[in-house]
Amino acid sequence: MLLADEVGLGKTIEACIVIAQRWVERRRRILGIAPATLRTQWERELDTEFSLPALVLDSRTFEARLKAGIANPFDSTDRLVICSYHFVAARGAELRSSVHLLPVAREILIQELHRREQFRLMGGAGVFPEDRLEDYLVRGLMDFDDVDYDHHSGLLYGLAGQVVKHLQSYLRDEDEVRNVLQYHRQGLVDLVHSQMQEHYEETAVAYEAHVSGGFTTLRPNHYSTTADGGERNFRAPVEHKRDIRKLLFAGFRKCLYDKQRFDSDPERRFAVVVEDDADVLKWFKPARGDFHIHCAGERTYEPDFVVESKDAKYLCEPKDAAELRSKEVVSKADAAATWCKHATAHERKHGGKAWSYLLIPDTAIAAGKTLRGLAAAYTCERASVPPHRIG
């Protein structure tokens, strides 16, 4: 189920109703993942509105549960567990080890398999068994485009074997293991595939540049805001920076749009820098699809800002200084720098301006800075050589 209503329309309450129903059904191994700033809000809503006990799991409570003899702190049936995205990412191994699926009644299994049409059924009363338990998972993994059975069959059977061994560690017999593999097949397949993705690396060995004629007309931006939100002058500091994505900013002179949203306060501060810079002619924040920069596989990358000055054009990416050397940031920087190289070659043939890609740490964005100064310090030529100054 996906809840995607506007702000203030009750998504949290709707989710809590679903959780409450599962709790009544005694399906009580529930994990809630939320932004760190909303964990206590979820705990409070569950307690005050639905009388559901919840535990906010962070480093302190995680270690406390370990010391109390709880082998897997994520595993709880007396309280819901609530934690942040980052905490789940950091403790993924412990979370995955909490898989504890149980067999279902034969009638439910047959009904579900009929619905999916994924298994051959024996007169509606049973299922043709796979020769090996691992085959239930391997067949599902083969459906992913990024899985090559011919070259990695040994790996696939090894991973599937780990799942089977885990199920055998707590289920009573092979029939129960087979039941779980049949009924929960897709969830287990997705789990194994997600673990494979964590260790998957893709390196671009070359880029193709396609130069098309003409130009692209920018699409209108449409924004919604809360009833009391309104528009804010982009120069005014934001008190609660975690709420900045909800805010709508105006007051620009050089932006191609009269209103903009920012994903972070460094982005807002960068807008102040380019608005105050006498050399800057115009700027905007591109929408999805405005640029076609491919950084890995089929993923595309949209830079945070596009800026034109009197003598150059820039793709600009304000970024948390601690993330500048992460694999994702480096991959995007490499692709964007390569895009700028080809764009510059095309521009020079037609008397245009050179393009550069700026990867700017948030600590470097402040009043009084100029785009020329930031370009001198933070221009990326290629990913293996990051900007030479950090901070």
CATH number for the domain that contains residue 256: 3.40.1350
pLDDT value, residue 253: 96
Q: Looking at the structure, do residues 186 and 237 belong to the same domain, yes or no?
A: no
At which of 54, 74, 96 does a domain end? Answer: 96
| pLDDT score of 256 | 93
Per-residue pLDDT at 356 exceeds 90? yes
Reply yes or no on whether the pLDDT at 385 is more than 50: no
Res. 373: pLDDT tops 90: yes
CA 81 – CA 54 distance, rounded (Å): 6
204 in a domain, yes or no? no
265 and 188 belong to one structural domain:
no
322 and 352 both lie in a single domain:
yes
User: Would you say residue 385 lies in a domain?
Assistant: no
- Burial environment of residue 233 by CB neighbours within 10 A (0 to 12, 13 to 18, 19 or more): exposed
User: What is the model's pLDDT at position 390?
Assistant: 39
Residue at 191 is within a domain = yes
**Do 352 and 255 sit in the same domain of this protein?**
yes
Under a CB-based contact definition with an 8 Å cutoff, are residues 284 and 267 in contact? no
pLDDT at site 123: 45
Assess whether pLDDT exceeds 80 at residue 329.
Answer: yes
Query: What pLDDT score does 122 carry?
Result: 47
Q: Which of 41, 69, 96 is the last residue of a domain?
A: 96
Q: Are residues 308 and 332 in the same domain?
A: yes
> Are 85 and 129 contained in the same domain?
no
**What is the pLDDT, as a whole number, of residue 388?**
44
Do 246 and 115 sit in the same domain of this protein? no
Measured CA to CA, the distance from residue 341 to residue 80 in angstroms comes to 52
Under 8 Å between Cβ of 192 and 164: no
Q: Mean pLDDT over residues 75-84, rounded?
A: 86
pLDDT tops 90 at residue 365: yes
Record the tokens describing residue 144, joined without a space.
């992913």
Does one domain contain both 81 and 123?
no
Give mean pLDDT, residues 117-133.
59
Domain count, the chain: 3
Those residues whose C-beta lies under 8 Å from the C-beta of residue 81, and which sit 6 or more positions away, are 30, 31, 32, 54, 55, 57, 74
Confidence band for 221, pLDDT divided at 50, 70 and 90: low
Between residues 206 and 154, the one the model is more confident about: 154
Q: What is the mean pLDDT of the chain?
A: 81
Would strands 248-250 and 231-233 be described as parallel, antiparallel, or unpaired?
Answer: parallel
- Has residue 3 been placed in a domain? no
Mean pLDDT of 175-192: 86
Are 365 and 242 within one domain? yes
According to the model, what pLDDT value does residue 37 have?
83
pLDDT of residue 125: 46
* Res. 105 pLDDT band, cuts 50 70 90: confident
Q: In terms of domains, do 267 and 371 share one?
A: yes
Phi, then psi, of 311 in degrees rounded to 5: -130, 5
Q: Is residue 389 part of a domain?
A: no
Q: Which amino acid is at 70?
A: I
Domain assignment of residue 215, yes or no: no
Contact between 366 and 269 under an 8 Å Cβ cutoff? The reply is yes
- Give the structural domain span for 323: 231-380
Q: What is the mean pLDDT of residues 190-210?
A: 65
Instruction: Specify whether 349 is located in the same domain as 326.
Output: yes
pLDDT, residue 352, reads 93
Boundary-marking domain end, from 62, 96, 130: 96
Q: Same domain for 148 and 82?
A: no
In a domain, 6, yes or no: no
Asked, for residue 217, whether it belongs to a domain, the answer is no
> pTM higher than 0.75 for the full model?
no
Flag whether pLDDT at 372 surpasses 90: yes
Q: Is residue 293 within 8 Å of residue 330, measured between CB atoms?
A: no
**pLDDT for the residue numbered 223:** 59
Determine which of 207-211, 227-231, 349-353 has the lowest per-residue pLDDT on average.
207-211
Quickly count: other Cβ atoms within 10 Å of residue 54's Cβ.
22
